[in-house]
Amino acid sequence: MICRMKYSVLLLTCVAVAGCDLAMPDILKPKPEAAGSTATAETSDASAVMTPETLDEGGETARPEAAPGSLGRTVVSLGDAAETGSWLKTPLVTTTRPGRVTYKGKWVAVTLIPIDGASGAGSRMSLQAMHLLGLALTELTEVEVIAQ
């Protein structure tokens, strides 16, 4: 009985070790493109390719600036406490402009400063504006942003 167990363990070990020599595919390495796809890329319309020249000529469509009124809701956190004033850095605007932030019936006048990010991304608020609205400095709070 013990002899059979030795042979079965030896056999299982040989089977397990036999696969160790096989090269594993590198899943992080990009796959080479097929020969047919390079031909279609070469024949594509060259005018559709964006270059620095076409961007300067107006090839890029800029987001239009929102009209005065509600820009939507955003989650705010404390911005740079060393920066003075009452401001909100938010992706909801594309240019610096005056605005208002409201929270639970209170509001504060702020300067709306654009930052990169999707419109659903969070915003950073000045220490002064957070104090005036009564917001906790360590919490994330959803506020309404209004452009003037």
Label residue 131 by pLDDT band (50, 70, 90).
very high
Closest CA to 72 of 96, 99, 109, 108: 99
Predicted TM-score (pTM) above 0.85: no
CATH topology of domain 69-147: Barwin-like endoglucanases (2.40.40)
- Residues 67-80, mean pLDDT to the nearest whole number: 90
- For the chain, give the percent of residues with pLDDT over 90: 49
**Does 34 or 126 have the greater pLDDT score?**
126
3 or 115: whose pLDDT is higher?
A: 115
Residue 12 has a pLDDT of 73
The pLDDT assigned to 18 comes to 65
Contact criterion met (CB below 8 Å) for 63 and 87: no
Instruction: Fill in the DSSP letter of residue 93.
Output: -
**pLDDT of 146 above 80:** yes
Rounded mean pLDDT, 71-93:
94
Confidence of residue 31 (pLDDT cuts 50, 70, 90): low
The helix (H) or strand (E) run that includes residue 111 is strand 106-114
19 pLDDT higher than 50: yes
